[in-house]
C-alpha cells in the first residue's frame, strides 16, 4: 500500500480518536453538571428527601411517601410545605406519634388574636388535610368554653378529651410546638402559624419513618 495513503489513514484515525475523546469529555462534563444542578434542587432533612418546586412565584418544598389506604392498597402521598424545613426555627419539644391511621384527632382553636393572620386559614386547612389524607379522622373544636357555647362549637381541650389526640392552636408570646402524650399544643406569636403547623407535620413524618426503620 502506498505510504502516503497509510499516513493519511493514520492521520484520520488520530483525528477521529481526538474527536471521540473530545465528545467523551463533553459527555462527562454534561453528566457532572447535570448531577450538580440536580443536587441543588434536592436535599435531605432528618432522613427525608425534599425537592424544591415552584408554582408561579411561590416556592414549595416537596416530599413523597406511601400511605396505606382503607382498602389496603398503598398510595403515594405528596407532601408540600412553604417553609424550608432546614430553616424552620420553630421550637418543638416532645415526640410526635400523630400519624396513627384510624385514630381520631381533634383540632381545637382559640381564634382570639389569630383572625388577622394572613396564613391562618391556610395553615389550619393544611393541617386538617394532612391528618385526613393520612387516614385519620379530623374533628373540629374550640378551646374557649364560652365561645364554643355561643357558637355551638364542640368544646375540646387536651384535658377533656384525654382518650384522643388533641391539637390545640392558640396565640402566645412565643411560637413553639410542645407534645406531651396525646396533647399537641401549637402556640403562635407574630402570626407564625404556618411555620408552626409545618414543623409539626414534618416532624410527624420523621417520627413515623423512624418507627418503621
pLDDT digits (tens, 9 = 90+) for 84-127: 999 999 999 999 999 999 999 999 999 998 989 999 999 999 99
Distance CA 77, CA 79 (A): 6
Question: For residue 37, is pLDDT > 50?
Answer: no
**Is 182 within the bounds of a domain?**
yes
Q: DSSP label at 41?
A: T
Range of the domain at 28: 1-40
**Is 47 within the bounds of a domain?**
no
Distance CA 155, CA 167 (A): 13
**Is 195 within the bounds of a domain?**
yes
How many separate domains does the chain show?
Answer: 2
Q: Are residues 120 and 199 in the same domain?
A: yes
Instruction: Sheet with 74-81: list strands edge to edge.
Output: 42-45, 48-55, 58-68, 74-81
Question: For residue 15, is pLDDT > 60?
Answer: yes
Q: What is the pTM of this model?
A: 0.80
pLDDT value at residue 73: 84
**Is 190 within the bounds of a domain?**
yes
Question: For residue 184, is pLDDT > 70?
Answer: yes
| pLDDT grade for 34, boundaries at 50, 70 and 90 | very low
Q: Are residues 34 and 130 in the same domain?
A: no
Distance CA 201, CA 130 (A): 8
**Is 49 within the bounds of a domain?**
no
Question: For residue 74, is pLDDT > 90?
Answer: no
pLDDT value at residue 211: 78
**Is 79 within the bounds of a domain?**
no
Distance CA 81, CA 98 (A): 18
**Is 174 within the bounds of a domain?**
yes
Closest CA to 131 of 67, 183, 58, 42: 67
pLDDT value at residue 179: 97
CATH label of the domain that carries residue 199:
3.40.50
Average pLDDT over residues 9-31: 61
CA 210 to chain centre: 16
Amino acid at each position: 500500500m502506498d505510504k502516503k495513503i497509510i499516513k493519511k489513514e493514520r492521520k484520520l484515525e488520530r483525528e477521529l480518536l481526538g474527536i471521540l475523546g473530545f465528545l467523551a469529555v463533553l459527555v462527562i462534563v454534561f453528566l457532572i453538571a447535570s448531577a450538580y444542578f440536580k443536587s441543588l434542587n434536592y436535599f435531605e432533612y432528618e432522613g427525608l428527601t425534599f425537592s424544591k418546586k415552584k408554582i408561579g412565584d411561590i416556592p414549595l418544598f416537596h416530599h413523597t411517601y406511601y400511605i396505606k389506604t382503607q382498602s389496603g392498597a398503598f398510595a403515594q402521598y405528596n407532601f408540600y410545605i412553604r417553609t424550608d424545613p432546614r430553616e424552620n426555627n420553630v421550637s418543638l419539644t416532645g415526640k410526635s406519634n400523630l400519624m396513627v391511621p384510624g385514630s381520631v384527632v381533634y383540632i381545637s382553636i382559640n381564634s382570639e388574636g389569630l383572625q388577622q393572620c394572613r396564613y391562618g386559614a391556610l395553615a389550619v386547612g393544611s393541617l386538617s388535610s394532612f391528618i385526613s389524607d393520612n387516614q385519620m379522622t379530623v374533628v373540629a373544636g374550640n378551646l374557649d368554653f364560652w365561645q364554643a357555647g355561643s357558637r355551638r362549637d364542640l368544646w375540646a381541650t387536651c384535658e377533656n378529651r384525654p382518650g384522643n389526640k388533641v391539637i390545640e392552636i392558640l396565640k402566645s408570646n412565643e411560637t413553639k410546638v410542645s407534645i406531651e402524650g396525646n396533647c399537641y399544643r401549637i402556640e403562635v406569636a407574630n402570626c407564625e402559624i404556618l411555620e408552626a403547623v409545618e414543623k409539626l407535620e414534618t416532624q410527624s413524618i420523621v417520627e413515623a419513618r423512624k418507627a418503621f426503620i
